[in-house]
Amino acid sequence: MDNWVLMGPKTLNNQPQGELSLSPEQVKIKVTYVLLSNFDALCYAGELPVAYPKTVGRFAVGIVTDCGEKVYGVEKGSRVYIKGARPCGKCLHCKRGDTNNCEHIQIAGIDFDGFLRDFVVCDYRRVAVLPDDVDYLHGLCIEHVAFAENIYDQLHLSAGSKVAIVGGNALAFILAQVAMYHKLVPVVIDDSPVAVEKLKKAGVYYSILNDDDLDSNIAEATSGLNCDASVYISCSKINPDVASRVLARDKTLVLEGMASMKFKLDSIPLFRHNTRVITVTDGFGYTESAINMILHGAIDLNMFEKQILTEYNPSALFNDMLSDVSHGLKMTIIKLIF
């Protein structure tokens, strides 16, 4: 029986769950797979503001084993994605029933219990049924795709626009694929030659090393015009000024914070170039759109090495991820057997 609870920085205990009761609008889910990511590793390390104690695990899928009597569209046996971002239920928007405009989106593993445990009981609106053609492994990437959709939606770019993505981790790769699906041209910049090579092989043509030739390589990729938007992956540890430097005037810089880390950004070039800066921290509200994209084959997970573990020590796995939190094109997946 598993329920991995973070009690404080680097203090993770397995505390079996007690009996779970079910209210009329709730479903009970047997968690089948959990994707461990650098977000969870940063929670484990105490780098993110976890309201201790919290069960770890932001990305999970499972199968519904029980339903309350007022549950609609989800039934016993449904394969589901468990949403890792939820409305708070307490702000004025939530109380008015307008949860899409919630003021305080809650994130699994920080604000409410995450999913590295045998069972989850939650409101049926906090899960999404997986269509037959979306397998569990793709289901684990729904929030990454939703995140990318959220960013795309805010950029208002026309086909052919060049989008710099500064950082070469799994989210960067999914962002690049979502960009290509929307007929944008991703330009991924990273400091790892291995990641750049992998991205190129996976079809991201403009994958550029962050070195002395960066400016000339960007000029070549953009016919000298610089990029139409730029997304800075905040856990990349690359100097964020790179993300503003590759932008043309009057464009948007997105600070991506799925696994947010502190950094300093020079404001002077932003003012000089009249740059609009926005932040994106979750894929809230984009779950259905992400599932639809996956269903249409927009996301190829083949470039990721995968390890699927049934016996595991989460602390050891997180410590391993923390040794290079910026990259990690390997998917570490826990299969929960019951």
In angstroms, what is the C-alpha Rg of the chain? 20
DSSP string, 24-60: TTEEEEEEEEEEE-HHHHHHHHT-S---SSEE--SEE
Give the interface segment with Zn ion, choosing from 49-57, 95-103, 222-230, 246-254 (CB under 5 A). Answer: 95-103
Report the nearest approach of Zn ion to the CB of residue 285 (Å).
Answer: 12
Give the interface segment with Zn ion, choosing from 92-100, 154-162, 167-175, 275-283 (CB under 5 A). Answer: 92-100
Q: How many Å apart are CA 161 and CA 155, to the nearest integer? A: 10
Helix (H, G, I), strand (E, B) or coil at 179: helix
Strands 79-82, 59-67: pairing kind: antiparallel
25 or 66, CB closer to Zn ion?
Answer: 25
Residue 314 sits in the site that holds Zn ion (CB under 5 A): no
Residue 298 sits in the site that holds Zn ion (CB under 5 A): no
Q: Binders of Zn ion among 19-78, rule CB under 5 A? A: none
Q: How many residues bind Zn ion (CB under 5 A)?
A: 5
Report the nearest approach of Zn ion to the CB of residue 279 (Å).
Answer: 18
Q: How do the residues of the chain divide into helix, strand and coil, expressed in percent and rounded to 5?
A: 30, 30, 45
102 or 227, CB closer to Zn ion?
Answer: 102
Residue type, 149: E
Quick note: the x/- pattern for Zn ion over 97-136, rule CB under 5 A, is: -----x----------------------------------
Give the tokens for residue 194.
């291995």
Report the nearest approach of Zn ion to the CB of residue 96 (Å).
Answer: 10
Residue 88 sits in the site that holds Zn ion (CB under 5 A): yes
Residue 94 sits in the site that holds Zn ion (CB under 5 A): yes
Q: Left (φ > 0), alpha (ψ -120 to 50) or beta: where does 60 sit?
A: beta
Q: Name residue 131's beta-bridge partners.
A: none
Task: Count CB neighbours of 222 within 10 A.
Answer: 19
Report the nearest approach of Zn ion to the CB of residue 224 (Å).
Answer: 46
Report the nearest approach of Zn ion to the CB of residue 93 (Å).
Answer: 5
Report the nearest approach of Zn ion to the CB of residue 147 (Å).
Answer: 19
Sole binder of Zn ion in the list 84, 87, 109, 283 (CB under 5 A)? 87
Residue 91 sits in the site that holds Zn ion (CB under 5 A): yes
- Whether residue 38 contacts residue 58, with contact meaning beta carbons closer than 8 Å, is answered with no
25 or 111, CB closer to Zn ion?
Answer: 111
Residue with tokens 């795709």: 145
- Whether residue 69 contacts residue 86, with contact meaning beta carbons closer than 8 Å, is answered with no
Which positions lie near Zn ion, rule CB under 5 A? 87-88, 91, 94, 102
